[in-house]
Amino acid sequence: MNLNITGHQLSITKSLKDYINQRFLKIQRHFCNNLDVHMVLEVKKLVNKVEITTRLPGKDLHVEVEDSNMYTAIDLLAQKVDRQIIKYKEIHATDMHSAKLLG
């Protein structure tokens, strides 16, 4: 997984990068091929916003999460992305290997 992390109004520290990589290890197991993932971390007054954009075969995936704590927002984002990738894989696995005839 090629993870590109950008910070708006925020400097990306080594501990923050390590935490993000730790949380996204689970997502790496779902795909054998490399994914290009772009993550933006943004700090507003009291709200931390984390968004991720990636391109899957046949679909662009964009997920946003806002929370008062940056680490909680990263956790929530990892859970959402994981659910959406599993859903994507289930849909495409049934389309490719289903015995239904078009008609």
The residue length of the chain stands at: 103
Looking at the domain assignment, is residue 57 inside a domain?
A: yes
User: Range of 16's domain?
Assistant: 2-97
Q: What is this structure's pTM?
A: 0.83
Looking at the domain assignment, is residue 86 inside a domain?
A: yes
Pairing, β 48-56 against β 59-67? antiparallel
Looking at the domain assignment, is residue 19 inside a domain?
A: yes
Looking at the domain assignment, is residue 75 inside a domain?
A: yes
CATH of the domain at 11: 3.30.160.100
Looking at the domain assignment, is residue 77 inside a domain?
A: yes
Per-residue pLDDT tens, the chain, 103 aa: give them. Answer: 788 999 998 999 999 999 999 998 878 877 766 788 899 999 998 999 999 999 888 889 999 999 999 999 999 999 999 999 888 888 877 655 555 544 4
Looking at the domain assignment, is residue 103 inside a domain?
A: no
CA proximity to 26, closest of 77, 72, 75, 82: 82
Say how many domains are in the chain.
Answer: 1
First-to-last alpha carbon distance for the chain, in angstroms, is 39
Question: Which residue intervals of the chain are DSSP H helices?
Answer: 14-23, 25-28, 70-97
Looking at the domain assignment, is residue 102 inside a domain?
A: no
